[in-house]
Structure 1
């Protein structure tokens, strides 16, 4: 082949002839030959093009570039680039153009021009050879199978997954290339793509390939159907990418998530140790043992730091799990002493608090346990174990025991990632175990603290008759965070409160007391139930956020995070009852006829966790209706998972079948529904509603006129005379005069004066204003400003509460002195 021919072939290789429309130009760039492909591309028949300059076919901007194409074209290599041509129908086509010298020497110069539409040829400057070379050397495994799923082509990268070189694959199916691989599932994906034309992208396959027979590998595969020019399927093109590392990382994260959910669900040391073993098998190991110091199991405080006499420390098996059915008899059973030989790896880990691992154990080596069946010490070969990790159970600088991980059925040994995962498991479990150990000592103190924080007796109220019963949880799993309260409010109203703190021990009891104090403070502000919960939610969030930044987050603020609360306000004058809940079950209602129902109350978000605003529900209760406020523990089904509906039905039956006094009824229900050692704390607060009689309330509508003050005083004095409270007349007239005068001066109408006679004499003046009065301490020279100061001196308490219509200013006077 001559030099000219070699240059021509080289030029053609850089441009695929099959995708281009050829035409021929002479030395002056005049069209001398027009092909059918060129006519299809540009729409011109040969008669309209032959003899014309090639620039006439281009748009004006590009025509000027082609006028001097003879000078610009390299005599040896030609020219290539992008030009815009005018189609015969007026459209503008963006063309990929390559100009190749056809002849060079003594004869006249001629040029072969190759045209292709840019829209139909992305990657126009790559030849098929370049594309094949790219696919052959791609790091992604690529293969093509025919309609019988037999290999017709594969690249070099596919060899890294096993199955031999490409020439050995030709004509064979996947099961023949990779024996032992689950070829049926993969060929099912190929058939799916072949028959439906649907692309299967990102299919993940996990198994053992011939290139790594002792380790599970994960591969991401995509299957795409190949079609001929008529759209008929001719095979399947698929790619393979090794994603083993990401797969193992995802499995580790999944195991960690499972550990977070499963470990530490109770405050039982033995149960937590067993949960650690259960989580690690089979995801990480085939056999796991957890051995703890006997002092830990008893709740005592182990000595901190390393121990020189670790071989003498008594250990006891607290948990173990195996992939086999049951634990081998050659191993120690749960609850039995676990003794190890002096100087063995378990003893060294217990002594120095450092992890230890061995990828391949000597199968003939004697096991470390000092207890073996018969006289002959067992070997690792007898147990079928080949790889081991030992991780000390350490929490807060103290070693509590050791956890040993073995592999038996899986051939791949433990690696550094497995050891890190095991240490994470054990670290989480260690904290739970240490918490359980500490809990046994703290619980007694917590119960004393809690009982001192709960109300010892209820105030005497005309609004409701109340009774309550509290039962702490089991000594190993109790939360010690349930509470209840009865708070007198202004206007003879009463607030009934039940809550539950998710903490435990002293911290839980302290968090409960903190929440109860906060609720009592908020109740004094006379807020609506949803406003009380909103402020309480803000308080818990702020406190938890502030305390969470410190080194020790085991504080009452953090314990209160996620607590629940139910706040109910009952008005004995109108019989109206308003309530709102924050992550707490709705109360039960027992009608005077004995019918039991549950309030349709939005549960709301728990305190401090965020969510939708709290919503309140308002009801009108008949006199004698019983409200049953309770915590979740009352609805727990003994011996089964929590089922709110089943618990409600049990509570409904218990409430319907009783006709006892309220105190006896409350205690009986708890005794019947709650086992002696419940899983959760139980609090039940029951309140039977009362109504104030018409003779206990007097109301007057007042015009906004200063002259009405005297009439208001007179009406109040007459009502006190009717109630037999003449000794309170002077003080009451003073209160009425000051409150009505302030309302007329500083607020808007309508005005209303109301007197309520129950445990105290309550005087209320309501108006349509939104501003509250403020107590002043006037100087001796001031002419005014002494009204509220006098009221604060002569009454038991006073305050302001807001309503939808405005506000109410009230003052209470004790009736005890008048009754003596």
Structure 2
């Protein structure tokens, strides 16, 4: 009986398999001896280089394979020395085919030993994974662009983000040019572009240390044509060009031709930035010197990259457009400059409209007083500007009712709550419905007669006061933000502001905090006693660190000025009917000293008679009459009573009830102001010259 020889059959099968691998396998197989010379390669290996197999035997690795970067001999020598195999190692190789190109191979290397452990050489397998790795590289590039491009809402910055992402990984030079009107927020023009359309170069990035540029970043120009750039913007299709000195269209732009020659660029890919048949600009990509030329796969990827970039630029354009409208609305709704006030000089820092919800205002009140308000509405765009206008109007209206700062903010809090409720009833698809309304606001009233400024704040817009000695202090405690559910009361604080004191109101709490901690530009207000207050505003701008965003905030700076003592008179009165005659006599003498015309003086005496009579009859002592000669002539009657007077229309047979009616007819305006210890009824008259006193500082 014949016995089989399994070991012999196994050896034969192994030899047959090895022969099949070297003659039929599509995987490149290589055998190297201990000197790293080629012993044998399979028939798939010549694909790596167009050389007959027999010509490879006995040659070293470096003589056979044109590696891109890595030293193959060092890699294989390490396998020989350590016995540690190399698995799935990627190697770049220059391949000579119809056109020189770079391909990527996945390499595995094993040390070969005989049964006794003697090292025989190295076995290497190589698989062409160029397409796989290019697909992975394209995916990584697309992910990088999606992650890095569009982080800002500035069309020019988006171009910089794209160029920085593409160079040097995908291109050696990247240029982004955007239609100039798109940069300003206008709609992108439909193709074909009108003749003479201007484009701005927003980005240039090169892998070369000192790259030549045909045009600088920021240049606005008309594209020379016909060129691949004008053609791409005409039909919104990418262009793939091979560059050489005889390229005919280069004659249309000599500066560009020189830059291409100097950079040794040989391949150009022009991709239009397009969205819904509108042209936003172009992306121009170059490869230079030894870099492989762009191919169809690169063109397909570049189109995807450009599509994402175009969408980001369009979003930025829409934001710029809305921001421009909101800034325009804001400028129209806010005063061009604070009102002129004789005893509280005011100035403000430039408002760029970057924060359309910020507002400022100053209002002249009765008795030479001035109201100052600074606020900020949450949100952005037209919605923030519209809400700001509503609240500014509400503050203006309520200030005429002589409300104390804390009471005015309480009323404004109710107004903001109603506006928030209106938002809650908007259609579910309206994004404003889901945007909470939050408002920060600071309101103050300065009285030059007493030198006291009464302030209250909602949110964190705490005003700062710089006293004449240079000390800086926060003026008002922070209350709840307007429109919030916090029902805590607002607190009013009275602060002495003698002449020379400087008050700083800002709609950005970060700026206020910075000034409180770094009062350098405010620490010596006496330096500005005789200089324009705008100089102090400039000093603030120079003092703020970069990135503080001072131009995004509304800032008012005010300086208290002394009220002339000879423009104010006050007399205590007895709670007796005889006080009426005494008040008329004192008034007549004071008006004569002020050279008030006879007609106005006569009306003033009638007003004083009615106000004093009303206080004697219905008020509570102590009584005090005050006359204030400012831009208007103001009569004030103070008493300790809490009952508020009201205007009556007396019947023909009534003996009383005409006092306030007469006052209202003779005066330009009148009203009632309450303090914790007293009430004041005031009446204003317009002076004949309607000018400020000449002796003001």
1:489 alignment partner in structure 2: 365
Query: Cα deviation per residue 1:578-598 (whole Å; 9 max; x = unaligned)?
Result: 1122235433434334x1413
Question: Which secondary structure does the structure 2 equivalent of 1:811 belong to?
Answer: strand
Give the alignment partner of residue 606 of structure 1, picking from 481, 487, 503.
481
Match of 1:436 in 2: 319
Deviation at 1:263, TM superposition (A): 11
Partner Cα separation in structure 2 for residue 300 and residue 403 of structure 1: 20
Distance between the aligned counterparts of 1:790 and 1:724, measured in 2?
A: 24
Residue 807 (structure 1) aligned with residue 679 (structure 2): yes
1:539-618 aligned within 5 A:
539-547=415-423, 549-551=425-427, 561-593=437-469, 595-611=470-486, 612-618=488-494
Q: Residues 657 and 576 (structure 1 numbering): CA distance in 2 closer, same or farther, change over 3 Å?
A: closer
Listed as ranges, the matches of 1:639-650 within 5 Å are 644=514, 648-650=518-520
Name the residue aligned to 1:327.
none
Contact map agreement 1:633 1:682 (CA 8 A) in 2 = no
Kept after mapping to 2: 8 A contact 1:495/1:567? yes
Q: Which region of structure 1 is more displaced relative to structure 2, 644-653 or 765-774?
A: 644-653
| TM-score, structure 2 as length reference | 0.53
1:784 aligns with 2:652: no
Instruction: Give the equivalent residue in structure 1 for 2:335.
Output: 454
Give 1:620's match in structure 2, choosing from 480, 491, 496: 496
1:367-415 deviation line (CA, Å, top 9, x unaligned): xx999963463769xx9x9xxxx89xxxxxxxxx8449xxxxxxxxxxx
Aligned residue for 1:125? none
TM-score, normalised via structure 1 length: 0.46
SS at match of 2:347: strand
Summarize the Cα distance change of 1:582–1:269 in structure 2 as closer, same or farther, 3 Å threshold.
farther
**1:216-615 maps to which residues of 2 (within 5 A)?**
267-269=153-155, 299-301=185-187, 374-375=292-293, 377=295, 402-403=307-308, 433=316, 435-439=318-322, 441-442=324-325, 445-446=328-329, 448-450=331-333, 453-456=334-337, 458-461=339-342, 463-464=343-344, 466-473=345-352, 478-502=354-378, 504=380, 508-547=384-423, 549-551=425-427, 561-593=437-469, 595-611=470-486, 612-615=488-491
- CA positional deviation for 1:811: 0.9
Aligned to 1:70: none
TM-fit CA distance, 1:800: 0.7
CA distance in 1 between partners of 2:425 and 2:202 (Å): 35
Which position in structure 2 is the counterpart of 1:44? none
Question: What's the secondary structure of 1:615's corresponding residue?
Answer: coil
Aligned to 1:471, the other structure's residue is in SS state: coil
2:536 to 641, 645, 666: 666
2:183–2:317 CA contact under 8 A, matched in 1:
no
Q: Which residue of structure 1 lines up, in the alignment, with residue 556 of structure 2? A: 684
Distance 1:541 1:264, change over 3 A: farther
Could you tell me how far apart the structure 2 residues matched to 1:748 and 1:277 are?
A: 79
Residue in structure 2 matching 1:712, options 576, 580, 583 = 583
Aligned-partner SS, 1:543: helix
Q: Which has the higher contact order (CA 8 A, sep 6+)?
A: 2
Partners of 1:375 and 1:596 in 2: CA distance? 69
8 Å contact 1:265–1:272 — kept in the other structure?
yes
Distance 1:741 1:499 in 2: 42
Displacement of 1:678? 5.7
How much has 1:569 moved relative to structure 2?
A: 1.3
The answer for the alignment partner of 2:39 in structure 1 is none
- Larger Rg over CA atoms: 1
* Helix, strand or coil at the partner of 1:635: helix
Instruction: Kindly state the Cα deviation for residue 520 of structure 1 after the two structures are TM-superposed.
Output: 1.8
- Relative to structure 1, the CA distance from residue 751 to residue 678 in structure 2 (aligned partners, 3 Å threshold; closer, same or farther) is closer
Q: Provide the aligned length of Structure 1 versus Structure 2.
A: 469
For residue 552 of structure 2, give the secondary structure of its aligned residue in structure 1.
coil
Partner of 1:761: 633
SS in 2 for 1:607: coil
